[in-house]
C-alpha cells in the first residue's frame, strides 16, 4: 500500500489524546462521607468489571476511528509501480518509411498504427513522439493529432539501431524517472546491428507491424547499355520477391507521354531494353503496376543535351595520344604550345594538361594556382629536362615537390582500385598479373598524397592532390610505354570526365550527390531545383565556368526537377527513392530478452495502463470510520 499524501500520517500522533483521556480520566473526585465503609466496598466491586470493559471498547473504537479518518485523508492506494513517487516519461518512435506501405489485416501498416496510437493514448497525456523526419517533444496527442493523421511516408530511412539511439536522446536527464520507449516499426532487415540496449530505468517495448503479404515487384535500376550513331539502348532491371509473373507490363514515358510499352515474364529478376533516339532530350519515367508497395513502381531518369568538357593541353611534345582520348563527341579539346598560349581562354577550361614542358613560366604558375582554386582540374606530365624550381613553385601548392631524376627502369604494378578513377566499373576484377607498363626514369618526390598508380617499389607514378593529378615520369615513347598501355585511356578519360561532373541518369534521395552545372552566374544569382510547386535551393559552390551542386536529403520527393537560374531553365535532373525499402524481409525479435515484444500497439498500451493502474483505498477507510462511529454510539447507548 502506498500513500498519495504520506505527510498526513503524522496526524496519527493525535491518537495519544484519547489514550491519555481514557487512562488518566482527567476529572476531579468529590469526597463523600460514609458511616458504613463496608457498603462502599460492595458497590465498587460490583461495577468495576463492567465499566472497565466499556472503557476499553470505547478507547479502541475511537482509536480506530481516528486512524481510519487520518488514513482516508492520506489517500492510500495500491499499484505495481511507485506512480506518485517516480516521474514517468513516454517516448514513441513511429517508423514512417516506405516499407510501411505494405498492408496488414486492417489496411496500410502506417495508417493503422496512427489510428491505434490516437485511440490508445489519452488526449492530454504528456509524451514525446518521433518519426523519421520530425520530433514532437513534451506534447500531447491532442496537439499533434492532425499532424499524425496527415503523416506522409518518408524517404529518410533510419536503421533500427539509429532510431533507437535517437529515441533515447529524447528522454530528460532527470534521475529517478521511469521511462517507457515504445518502438513501432516493421523491423525490416538491414545491414546494421540492432542491439536493444537501454539503461535500467528505461523499459523498451517493441511493436512489430506485420504485413499479410510480402510479395513485391520493383524497378531496380535503369542504365544505358549501348550507344550507336542513331540510337541509345536503355536497359531496365526488374526485381520480384513473390510468385512468378508471366506477363508484367512495363511502360516508358517522356514528358508524361507514353512513348513505348513492353512486357516481361519474371521469376526473381528480369530485364528489358528500350531504344531511344540519339540527340533528343528525354525526361523519362519507367513505370509498372504493383498493388503492394507503391513507391518503387516508377523510376525517373534524364537524358540531357550533353555538356562537353573543355580541355586545354599546353604541349612541349606531340599530343596525339591526348587527341585520341579527348574526342569531339565528349570534349572540346584545344592544344597549344606554351609560347603561343592565350591566357584569356584559361578561365573557360575545365581541365588543363601540362604536357612535358621543360619550364613553367611564373605567369603560368600564378594563373594555374588561381585556376585550380576555381575548381579547375590539372594534369602535370613532366619532361626529362625540367626546371625543378619552376615546377616546384607550382607543386608546392599541391603539397609536393620534385627532387632528383632517377635513371632506373621501374614497372608500374600497383593500381589503387578504390580510387574514383577506377571504382566505377573500369575493371571487372582486380588484375594481379598483366603486361606492366614501365618507365626508364622518374622523379623522386616529397609528398604525402594518395597514390593512384605505383611502381613495384611502392613509389608513386601518378598521385592526386585535390584536383591536381601529377605524373612523376615523362610519358613520351623514349621514356615509357605507358601511353600504349590499356591503363592510359581510363586514367586520362576519367580525369577529364570528373573535371566536369555532368548529371547522371538519376540520383538516389538520401545519398550524397554531387554534380556540376555548366553555367556562369552573375553576382547574387542562385540555382534552384523546381518541380511544379516545389522549389529547393541546394548547396552550391560557384566557380568561373561551373556551379557545383550537392544534395542529400532534399529533394525528398522522387520526380524530375528543372535546374533554374531565376526563370531560365538550364537542364533537368531526376531523383528516385532508395530501393532498400523494397526488400520485405524482417528481423527475428524472438530472441529479445527483458524486452516486451508484441504485434499489437493496443496490447502494449494495455500493459502500460495495467502497470500504472491505481486502486484507491480511501473510500474503504471512510466506510470503516463510519462503521466504527456507529459501533461507538451503540456501545455508549446499549452497553451498561
Architecture of domain 309-499: 3-Layer(aba) Sandwich (3.40)
pLDDT greater than 80 at residue 11? no
Q: How far apart are CA 349 and CA 311, in angstroms?
A: 6
pLDDT greater than 80 at residue 625? no
- What confidence score (pLDDT) does residue 378 get? 93
At 581 the three-state DSSP class reads: helix
Give yes or no for a contact between 312 and 346, defined as CB atoms under 8 angstroms apart.
yes
Q: Which residues contact 111 (CB under 8 A, 6 or more apart)?
A: none
Give yes or no for a contact between 285 and 253, defined as CB atoms under 8 angstroms apart.
yes
At 90 the three-state DSSP class reads: strand
What value, to the nearest 5°, has the Cα angle with vertex 334 and ends 328 and 336?
A: 150
CATH class, domain 217-303, is: mainly beta
Q: Which residues contact 592 (CB under 8 A, 6 or more apart)?
A: 196, 206
Q: What is the residue-wise DSSP string for 108-156?
A: EHHHHHHHHHHHHS-TT--EEEE-SS-EEEEE-HHHHHHHHHTPPPBS-
- What confidence score (pLDDT) does residue 297 get? 92
pLDDT tens by residue, 566-605: 888 899 999 999 998 888 888 888 777 767 788 888 888 8
pLDDT tens by residue, 449-472: 888 998 888 888 999 988 899 999
Closest to 506 (Cα-Cα) out of 232, 220, 230? 220
Closest to 367 (Cα-Cα) out of 352, 382, 346, 387? 346
Q: How far apart are CA 118 and CA 97, in angstroms?
A: 19
- What confidence score (pLDDT) does residue 196 get? 64
pLDDT greater than 70 at residue 409? yes
Q: How far apart are CA 217 and CA 244, in angstroms?
A: 11
Q: How far apart are CA 162 and CA 193, in angstroms?
A: 10
pLDDT greater than 70 at residue 337? yes
Cβ count near 275 (within 10 Å): 12
List, by residue range, all CATH 2.60.40.10 domains of the chain. Answer: 217-303, 507-579
Q: Chain-wide mean pLDDT for the chain?
A: 84
Better-scored residue on pLDDT, 98 or 66: 98
pLDDT tens by residue, 424-455: 766 655 666 567 889 999 998 887 788 899 88
- What confidence score (pLDDT) does residue 566 get? 87
pLDDT band at 313 (very low <50, low <70, confident <90, very high): very high
Better-scored residue on pLDDT, 125 or 300: 300
Lowest mean pLDDT among 81-90, 198-207, 471-480: 81-90
**Grid cell digits, residue 155:** 524517404
**Topology of 507-579 in CATH?**
Immunoglobulin-like (2.60.40)
- What confidence score (pLDDT) does residue 630 get? 82
List, by residue range, all CATH 3.40.50.410 domains of the chain. Answer: 87-213+584-613
**Grid cell digits, residue 54:** 466499556
pLDDT tens by residue, 182-225: 889 888 887 677 776 666 677 888 888 988 888 889 999 999 98
pLDDT band at 619 (very low <50, low <70, confident <90, very high): confident
**Grid cell digits, residue 400:** 609536393
The DSSP bridge pattern shows strands 87-94 and 177-185 to be parallel
DSSP type of residue 216:
-
**Grid cell digits, residue 9:** 500520517
How large is the average pLDDT for residues 544-552?
89
- What confidence score (pLDDT) does residue 47 get? 55
pTM, rounded to two decimals: 0.76
Q: How far apart are CA 61 and CA 280, in angstroms?
A: 102
Residue 637's H or E segment, with its range, is helix 618-638
- What confidence score (pLDDT) does residue 462 get? 92
DSSP type of residue 124:
T
Give yes or no for a contact between 443 and 472, defined as CB atoms under 8 angstroms apart.
yes
Q: How far apart are CA 302 and CA 79, in angstroms?
A: 64
Closest to 202 (Cα-Cα) out of 181, 183, 175, 182? 181
Share of the chain above pLDDT 90, in %: 29
Residue 265's H or E segment, with its range, is strand 257-266
Q: How far apart are CA 505 and CA 82, in angstroms?
A: 60
How large is the average pLDDT for residues 324-336?
92
pLDDT greater than 60 at residue 26? no
- What confidence score (pLDDT) does residue 249 get? 92
pLDDT greater than 60 at residue 624? yes
- What confidence score (pLDDT) does residue 20 get? 75
Lowest mean pLDDT among 108-117, 166-175, 258-267, 613-622: 613-622
The reply to whether omega before 125 is within 30° of 0 (cis) is no
Q: State residue 68 phi and psi, 5-degree precision.
A: -65, -40
- What confidence score (pLDDT) does residue 425 get? 63
- What confidence score (pLDDT) does residue 613 get? 57
pLDDT band at 331 (very low <50, low <70, confident <90, very high): very high
Give yes or no for a contact between 485 and 437, defined as CB atoms under 8 angstroms apart.
yes
- What confidence score (pLDDT) does residue 599 get? 80
Instruction: Please state the separation of Cα 331 from the chain's center in Å.
Output: 38
Q: What is the residue-wise DSSP string for 163-176?
A: HHHHHHTTS---SS
pLDDT greater than 90 at residue 563? yes
pLDDT tens by residue, 338-389: 889 899 999 889 999 999 999 999 999 999 999 998 889 999 999 988 998 9
Largest Cα–Cα separation, the chain: 157
pLDDT greater than 80 at residue 58? no
List, by residue range, all CATH 3.40.50.880 domains of the chain. Answer: 309-499
pLDDT greater than 80 at residue 34? no
Is the domain spanning 87-213+584-613 CATH 3.40.50.10860? The answer is no
Amino acid at each position: 500500500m502506498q500513500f498519495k499524501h504520506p505527510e498526513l500520517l503524522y496526524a496519527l500522533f493525535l491518537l495519544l489524546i484519547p489514550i491519555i483521556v481514557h487512562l488518566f480520566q482527567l476529572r476531579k473526585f468529590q469526597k463523600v462521607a460514609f458511616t458504613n465503609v463496608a457498603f462502599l466496598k460492595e458497590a465498587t466491586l460490583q461495577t468495576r468489571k463492567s465499566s472497565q470493559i466499556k472503557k476499553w471498547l470505547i478507547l479502541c473504537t475511537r482509536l480506530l476511528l481516528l486512524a481510519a479518518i487520518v488514513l482516508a485523508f492520506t489517500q492510500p492506494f495500491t499499484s505495481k509501480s511507485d506512480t506518485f513517487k517516480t516521474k514517468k516519461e513516454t517516448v514513441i518512435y513511429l517508423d514512417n518509411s516506405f516499407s510501411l506501405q505494405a498492408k496488414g489485416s486492417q489496411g496500410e501498416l502506417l495508417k493503422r498504427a496512427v489510428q491505434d496510437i490516437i485511440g490508445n493514448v489519452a488526449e492530454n497525456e504528456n509524451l514525446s513522439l518521433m518519426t523519421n523526419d520530425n520530433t514532437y517533444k513534451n506534447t500531447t496527442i491532442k496537439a499533434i493529432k492532425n499532424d499524425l493523421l496527415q503523416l506522409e511516408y518518408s524517404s529518410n530511412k533510419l536503421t533500427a539501431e539509429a532510431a533507437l539511439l535517437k529515441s533515447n536522446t529524447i528522454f530528460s536527464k532527470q534521475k529517478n524517472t521511469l521511462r517507457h520507449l515504445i518502438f513501432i516499426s516493421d523491423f525490416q532487415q538491414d545491414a546494421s546491428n540492432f542491439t536493444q540496449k537501454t539503461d535500467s530505468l528505461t523499459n523498451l517495448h517493441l511493436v512489430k507491424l506485420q504485413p499479410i503479404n510480402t510479395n513485391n515487384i520493383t524497378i531496380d535500376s535503369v542504365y544505358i547499355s549501348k550507344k550507336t550513331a542513331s540510337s541509345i539502348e536503355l536497359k531496365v532491371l526488374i526485381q520480384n520477391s513473390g510468385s512468378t509473373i508471366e506477363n508484367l507490363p512495363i511502360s516508358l514515358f517522356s514528358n508524361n507521354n507514353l512513348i513505348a510499352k513492353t512486357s516481361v515474364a519474371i521469376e526473381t529478376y528480369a530485364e528489358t531494353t528500350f531504344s531511344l533516339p540519339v540527340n533528343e532530350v528525354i525526361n523519362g519515367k519507367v513505370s509498372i503496376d504493383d498493388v503492394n508497395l507503391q513507391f518503387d513502381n516508377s523510376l525517373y531518369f534524364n537524358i540531357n543535351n550533353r555538356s562537353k568538357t573543355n580541355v586545354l593541353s599546353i604541349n612541349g611534345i606531340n599530343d596525339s595520344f591526348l587527341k585520341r582520348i579527348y574526342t569531339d563527341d565528349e570534349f572540346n579539346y584545344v592544344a597549344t604550345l606554351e609560347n603561343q598560349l592565350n591566357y584569356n581562354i584559361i578561365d573557360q577550361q575545365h581541365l588543363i594538361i601540362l604536357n612535358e614542358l621543360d619550364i613553367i613560366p611564373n605567369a603560368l604558375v600564378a594563373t594555374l594556382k588561381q585556376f585550380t582554386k576555381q575548381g579547375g582540374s590539372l594534369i602535370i606530365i613532366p619532361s626529362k629536362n625540367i626546371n625543378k624550381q619552376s615546377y616546384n613553385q607550382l607543386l608546392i601548392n599541391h603539397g609536393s615537390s620534385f627532387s632528383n631524376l632517377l635513371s632506373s627502369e621501374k614497372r608500374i604494378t600497383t593500381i589503387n582500385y578504390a580510387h574514383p578513377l577506377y571504382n566505377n566499373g573500369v575493371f571487372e576484377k582486380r588484375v594481379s598479373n598483366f603486361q606492366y607498363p614501365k618507365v626508364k626514369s622518374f622523379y623522386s618526390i616529397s609528398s604525402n598524397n594518395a597514390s593512384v598508380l605505383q611502381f613495384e617499389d611502392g613509389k608513386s607514378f601518378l598521385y592526386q592532390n585535390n584536383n591536381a593529378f601529377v605524373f612523376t615520369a615523362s610519358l613520351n615513347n623514349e621514356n615509357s610505354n605507358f601511353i600504349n598501355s590499356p591503363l592510359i585511356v581510363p586514367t586520362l578519360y576519367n580525369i577529364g570526365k570528373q573535371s566536369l561532373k555532368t548529371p547522371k541518369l538519376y540520383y538516389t534521395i538520401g545519398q550524397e550527390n554531387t554534380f556540376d552545372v555548366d553555367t556562369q552566374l552573375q553576382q547574387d544569382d542562385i540555382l534552384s531545383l523546381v518541380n511544379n510547386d516545389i522549389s529547393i535551393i541546394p548547396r552550391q559552390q560557384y566557380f568561373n565556368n561551373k556551379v557545383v551542386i550537392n544534395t542529400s536529403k532534399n529533394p525528398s520527393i522522387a520526380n524530375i526537377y528543372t535546374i533554374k537560374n531565376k526563370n531560365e531553365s538550364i537542364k533537368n535532373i531526376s531523383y528516385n527513392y532508395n530501393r532498400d525499402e523494397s526488400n520485405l524481409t524482417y528481423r527475428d525479435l524472438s530472441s529479445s530478452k527483458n524486452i516486451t515484444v508484441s504485434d499489437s500497439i493496443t496490447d502494449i498500451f494495455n500493459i502500460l495502463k495495467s502497470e500504472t493502474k491505481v486502486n484507491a483505498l480511501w473510500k474503504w477507510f471512510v466506510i470503516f470510520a463510519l462503521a466504527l462511529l456507529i459501533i461507538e454510539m451503540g456501545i455508549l447507548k446499549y452497553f451498561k
